[in-house]
Structure 1
Amino acid sequence: MEKILSQAEWIDRARAVLPAGGFGNFDPGIVIREGKGSRVWDEDGREYIDYLIGSGPMMLGHGHPEVMEAVLEQLPRGMTFFASNARGIALAEEICRAVPCGEQLRYVSSGGEADMYAIRLARAFTGRTKIVKFEGGYHGMSAEAQMSLAPSVRVNFPQAVPDSAGIPPSVAAEVLVAPFNDFEFIKQLMAEHGHEIAAIIAEPLQRIVPPLPGFLQLLRDETQKHGSLLIFDEVVTGFRSTYGGGQELYGVTPDLTTLGKVIGGGFPLAAIVGRADIMRHFDKAEVGAEGWLMQLGTLSGNPVAAAAGLKTLEVLRREDTYDRLNASGQRLMQATSAALEEAGVPFRIVGEPALFEVVFTDAIVRDYRDTQAGNAARTKRYNAVLRAEGIFKSPGKTYPSLALTEEDLEQTEAAIRKAAAALD
């Protein structure tokens, strides 16, 4: 009979074979055994309401029966072919219908890959090399994306600072870093460097920070003025608050969009989506050898992930789906606000109902540096109490899911009140 291991034993085993012990930065460590609906269980059998939802993709909850049925229907027909398949084509068609900038699509297996190729595609299309990104913006793990991802606020700003070892110093010369929501900085930067810039890449909702009114439109106007491309990284925001993602929510259409998470229904699937005249650079027959952007991936667009994605999007298209999701998020935001007001600590709730977090500061949160100005000790204490009360989330984001029940929401509200009361 196989020995049943405790969570601590699994964590010890993980440390032996997985650098840093595995996935995520959870303190204390956790090993998830299973998930069902709105909940997950760890290897010690503890039950949690899940507000991490796999870091975003499990919007419908774990083990959604219709998604499971679609996957099980595809599995005996084949898992991957390294060739086009009907489900992959159908999913591409649906994504292009949904996303305002969607004319053509190219599959990859992760959001980070999608961002890497989108940046490369912008360079191929424009013939320029420089990229503008925003301090604190996350766009995967490429060398360009790791510039000023999480720099110390003591670093003189602005400058491109690598957040990982192994990045050549030359990369910094090709990345210009700007503060999110700073209108004048963008205008000045583009006036000075617009002729060199291949693209501005931005999350429409940067981590949890919403754009100020008119800021995304400014990015659109400035890129068009200077012949640069605008890339929206919608790996997180795609299909999140609305079916058309952040570009539909905020009313600004980019040239290219990257998607991931939700479109795979819990399986590894991502995409670059955009204007056909730009996307044609993936077609060697269209642009010739010099203009061709080579892109291949063994599992890109495989039929199992596509089947899960197709069914997930079908469910999301149903009436009142987003009304229900956003209502749950709004309720939790209001509960958090009420509890923290009663506790008498300064705070800001930042984000949208479908993705938000509390920052323990009394200052307006407009960019990365504002999020870092929050009281770190209170953040740690607040999240620790939530975890102890059966709430599973990351330290920096709260993702409501469509699987949340009235019981889940009531239990979460009680946990929020207890966590708020524990703060000094």
Structure 2
Amino acid sequence: MTERYQKSQELFAAAQQVIPGGVNSPVRAFRGVGGSPIFFAKGEGSRLTDVDGNSYLDYVLSWGPLLLGHAHAAVNQAISDQVVLGASFGAPTAQETKLAEQVIGLVPSIEQVRFVNSGTEATMSALRLARAFTGREKILKFTGCYHGHADMLLVQAGSGVVTLGLPDSPGVTAGAAAGTLTAEYNDLEAAKAIFAAQGSEIAAIIVEPIAANMGFVLPEPGYLEALCELAHAHGALFILDEVMTGFRVSPGGAQVHWNLKPDLTCLGKVIGGGLPVGAYGGRRDVMQHVAPAGPMYQAGTLSGNPLAMAAGSATLETAFTPVEGKTPFEHAVGLAEALANGMRGLSEELGIPLQVGQVGTMFGFYFLREAGMHVKSYADAKQMVDAERYARFFWAMCERGVYLAPSQFEAGFLSAAHSAADVEQTLSAAREALQAK
């Protein structure tokens, strides 16, 4: 670290005295790239400014929510209009119904939706609902797919294809993890073997359609469709965790992109427009089991609070309304394609093995240890990825005014606020960073 980040270093030292590790979410500590985290002071459009006055093109975008970019006028106005009326009432408001109708209108599989305050709340509630609906206790998740920090989801896969969950964090009891089965992502035969052995006990499959918490791993052709069929063949529910992919892969999410019909969908990030929001929704007959309509209890004092509902509603309305024949979402998709193609071109030109992926407004890339490698699972990622090289690249890009995720194993995002010039600047910086020693 240099004088370029002096104020950030000072703030991090102070934060560590009063906040565990100095951060309120672990990835912010920069353990994946080394050094101290950058503290930011301002976001505007496609750019961030840190406390030392350095400016960056931002491809993290608060880890996905900012589809329209930082401090978008329509979102700011919606929040401003609401805050003078009140931030929270703990009672129903029309804003909740409006956003629910927008979500249902965009995501065909969702007939009813319940708002919560985070992606973790959404996934743990959806799984509780699946167990209540089916009367079964076990769930199947996939190694490297992150669904929040609920106890039953902090589970480590063993070496076998049929693995009972073992706690992956101190404080998670063996009992909490015992009902969680794991298989390798993109390994359909492993999932089939688990269902062959324990299918009558499994309430649901939960999966990220794009494994974007182990980098950017796309599903193999037919994989997600086969998982859905497998779940239904055994009377289990199929749950898509679209907290990250929702409204970013397509207006209707990854499920529309791949023509999937999940029973339940988990959402977050974009539907809050930068404020804390999560949601789970799906088939009406399943959702009718949620209290007070049914017996499955789930509640939250700030769930559906009008500030978050207003921000989310403004985001969805603006992102998918055409301006001069093109929606802001479509503009962002075009830029994501250009960025991904540019990174592939640099990889070929400079002879640096990269695995680059992109769908909708999301992208990601791995530095591979050897040419010809292809990551399709978490096991592959651990063996094939050169994380040290990514760390050097990350800091080289920061020095050139481009902020990427401070971890090789996180996806990147484009926003409607980005421009073609931003992408050109990013690729120019990447060329220099890739050539740097």
What CA deviation, in whole Å up to 9, does each residue of 1:307-337 have, x standing for no partner?
Answer: 1111100012123233211111111111111
More moved, 295-304 vs 358-367: 358-367
What CA deviation, in whole Å up to 9, does each residue of 1:347-395 have, x standing for no partner?
Answer: 2113425222211223222111222221122121222211221111212
Q: Structure 1 pair 326/374, CA: closer, same or farther in 2 (3 Å)? A: same
Question: Counterpart of 1:102 in 2: which secondary structure?
Answer: coil
1:47 aligns with 2:55: yes
Q: 2: CA distance between counterparts of 1:408 and 1:14?
A: 32
What CA deviation, in whole Å up to 9, does each residue of 1:375-419 have, x standing for no partner?
Answer: 122121222211221111212322111111233112111111112
1:412 aligns with 2:412: no
Q: Is the 8 A contact 2:22 2:29 kept in 1?
A: no
- 2:175 is aligned to 170
Question: Counterpart of 1:95 in 2: which secondary structure?
Answer: helix
C-alpha displacement of 1:13:
1.3
Match of 2:402 among 376, 391, 415: 391
**AA at the equivalent of 2:302:** L
Structure 2 unmatched ranges of 5 or more: 1-5
Question: Counterpart of 1:6 in 2: which secondary structure?
Answer: helix
1:364 aligns with 2:374: yes
**AA at the equivalent of 1:25:** A
- 1:310 is aligned to 313
More moved, 71-80 vs 253-262: 71-80
Question: Counterpart of 2:356 in 1: which secondary structure?
Answer: strand
Q: Structure 1 pair 186/201, CA: closer, same or farther in 2 (3 Å)? A: same
Question: Counterpart of 1:410 in 2: which secondary structure?
Answer: helix
Aligned-pair Cα RMSD in Å: 1.5
Q: 2: CA distance between counterparts of 1:171 and 1:44?
A: 44
- 2:191 is aligned to 186
Question: Counterpart of 1:281 in 2: which secondary structure?
Answer: coil
Question: Counterpart of 1:144 in 2: which secondary structure?
Answer: helix
| 1:15-414 to 2 correspondences below 5 Å | 15-23=16-24, 24-26=28-30, 27-148=35-156, 156-158=159-161, 159=163, 160-207=165-212, 208-284=216-292, 286-287=293-294, 292-319=295-322, 320-321=326-327, 322-361=329-368, 362-372=372-382, 373-394=384-405, 395=407, 396-414=410-428
Question: Counterpart of 2:431 in 1: which secondary structure?
Answer: helix
Question: Counterpart of 1:11 in 2: which secondary structure?
Answer: helix
Give the TM-score taking structure 2 as reference length.
Answer: 0.90
Q: 2: CA distance between counterparts of 1:378 and 1:409?
A: 22
What CA deviation, in whole Å up to 9, does each residue of 1:102-140 have, x standing for no partner?
Answer: 111111100111001011110000000000000000000
Q: 1: CA distance between counterparts of 2:379 and 2:334?
A: 29
Q: 1: CA distance between counterparts of 2:167 and 2:345?
A: 39
Identity over the aligned pairs, expressed in percent? Answer: 40
Q: 1: CA distance between counterparts of 2:399 and 2:198?
A: 50
Equivalenced residues, count? 409
- 1:9 is aligned to 10
**AA at the equivalent of 2:321:** R
Q: 1: CA distance between counterparts of 2:396 and 2:7?
A: 22
Q: Is the 8 A contact 1:204 1:234 kept in 2?
A: yes
Q: 1: CA distance between counterparts of 2:359 and 2:306?
A: 32
What CA deviation, in whole Å up to 9, does each residue of 1:185-220 have, x standing for no partner?
Answer: 222221221101000000111112111111111111
Q: Is the 8 A contact 2:47 2:57 kept in 1?
A: yes
Q: 2: CA distance between counterparts of 1:261 and 1:172?
A: 26
Q: 2: CA distance between counterparts of 1:80 and 1:67?
A: 18
More moved, 237-246 vs 334-343: 334-343
What CA deviation, in whole Å up to 9, does each residue of 1:26-81 have, x standing for no partner?
Answer: 23311110101100111101001111100110110111001111111111111111
What CA deviation, in whole Å up to 9, does each residue of 1:229-266 have, x standing for no partner?
Answer: 01100000000021100111111010000100000111
C-alpha displacement of 1:172:
3.4
Q: Is the 8 A contact 1:335 1:416 kept in 2?
A: no
**AA at the equivalent of 2:311:** A
**AA at the equivalent of 1:22:** V
Question: Counterpart of 2:186 in 1: which secondary structure?
Answer: coil
- 2:3 is aligned to none
Q: Is the 8 A contact 1:328 1:353 kept in 2?
A: no
Q: 2: CA distance between counterparts of 1:88 and 1:247?
A: 23
Question: Counterpart of 1:213 in 2: which secondary structure?
Answer: coil
Give the TM-score taking structure 1 as reference length.
Answer: 0.93
**AA at the equivalent of 1:180:** Y
Q: 1: CA distance between counterparts of 2:404 and 2:96?
A: 31
**AA at the equivalent of 1:275:** R
